[in-house]
Amino acid sequence: MTYAIETHEIGKRFGDVVALDRFSLRAPEGKVLGLVGPSGSGKTTALRVIAGFDRPDVGSVSIAGTPVVDDSTFVPPEKRRVGMVFQDFALFPHMTVAKNVGYGLSGDGKRARVDEVLAMVGLAGMGNRMPHELSGGEQQRVALARALAPRPAVILLDEPFSNLDAPQRERVRKEVRTILVEARATAIFVTHDRDEALALSDEMAVMRDGTILQSAPPHELYHHPVDRWVAAFLGDGEFVPGTAGEHLIETAFGSFPNRSGVRGAVDVLIRPESVRLERDDAGTGFVVEREFYGHDQLVTLHVEGGRRLVARHGPDPIFNPGDAARWEITDVMVLPARQAPVASTQ
């Protein structure tokens, strides 16, 4: 596999604060990589180091196979072939759309390239507009067009959808992914929104305390998280203790086939989508909470022994607090108590 960006053992401190700690990341060429983690985990600092806005204390960065940072090298931002899309779009308010997109371009082909990328992002014929005349989603596409215009080796997007309202956000992020894929661009986008990262990424890296905990395709991360923290960060679920024997895993919720290869004390993760529900007056689960989202509902049950179980159910029938329900767990994830790699029993 060819990598457009490779960082190795990056370290960066701001005074006593460690922003990056042995940060190592590979972004495959032509793919969209989502860098996700909680606030303060170092995501934006990582992007700034790759772009050249911040110089690391230690470590190296290569872009398109060329070192841009190491012990003896520091290539300035304007020479790194990196396009940047900022959280607030950073458009020049006094310039037309075309002038914003063409900023930094030169040569006889400038006008044609501006027209080309505006068409690419669905804004053909809007070059004479001013930024304030555009919607938030349109401004986002102008910012993306400006980043694409110089034909960079990689595009970096820092929380690119955070300034959009919810309806715009979902629509624009789909549009941006389509544009990046059609342009065959390599992109790294930073977000704290796990659902956004899962939906948009070809590859996904989970970050915490300045370092990468796990990097893999989204489905692999979700079904095979490297530890309990990653598992909890990427999705809802209930952890229960269990004991793994040769064939079965014993838990307070019953026994499950053990296909994990793990033995002894384990943590068992039950995702809401792995719990089936049916309304049943003779059921042993009782609804204590229900959140309705239109396309589905998240139902919290109390079951025997005062235990808690959360199920993701379709929109019908509606469950209400006090309803009795029959429940079944169809799949679990298994982590040894010391948090070694997860294996699904599916």
Burial 43-70 (b: 16+ CB within 10 A, else e): bbbbbbbbbbebebeebbbbbbeeebbe
pLDDT at position 345 is 52
Query: How many angstroms separate the CA atoms of 72 and 60, rounded?
Result: 10
Query: How many angstroms separate the CA atoms of 216 and 20, rounded?
Result: 20
- Here the CATH number for the domain that contains residue 19 is 3.40.50.300
* Whether the predicted pLDDT of 340 surpasses 50: no
DSSP H stretches of helix in 157-311: 166-182, 194-200, 218-223, 228-234
Q: In the listed set 226, 261, 292, which residue is the last one of a domain according to the structure?
A: 226
My answer on whether 116 and 181 are in the same domain is yes
My answer on whether 213 and 339 are in the same domain is no
My answer on whether 243 and 222 are in the same domain is no
My answer on whether 98 and 149 are in the same domain is yes
Q: What is the pLDDT of residues 8-30, one digit of tens each?
A: 999 999 999 999 999 999 999 99
Q: What is the pLDDT of residues 202-222, one digit of tens each?
A: 999 999 999 999 999 999 999
The CA angle 287-295-198, to the nearest 5 degrees, is 105
Q: In the listed set 226, 246, 268, which residue is the last one of a domain according to the structure?
A: 226
Q: How confident is the model at residue 343 (pLDDT cuts 50, 70, 90)?
A: low
Q: How confident is the model at residue 262 (pLDDT cuts 50, 70, 90)?
A: confident
My answer on whether 70 and 196 are in the same domain is yes
Q: Residue 222: which domain range?
A: 3-226
My answer on whether 55 and 131 are in the same domain is yes
* Whether the predicted pLDDT of 344 surpasses 70: no
Query: How many angstroms separate the CA atoms of 342 and 269, rounded?
Result: 10
- pTM for the model: 0.88
Could you check whether the bond before residue 152 is cis, i.e. omega within 30 degrees of 0? no
- Percentage of the chain beyond pLDDT 70 is 97
My answer on whether 167 and 248 are in the same domain is no
* Domains held by the chain: number: 2
Between the CA atoms of 32, 33, 39 and 42, what dihedral angle is there, to the nearest 10 degrees? -130
- Here the CATH number for the domain that contains residue 319 is 2.40.50.140
DSSP H stretches of helix in 106-257: 110-120, 136-148, 166-182, 194-200, 218-223, 228-234
My answer on whether 244 and 183 are in the same domain is no
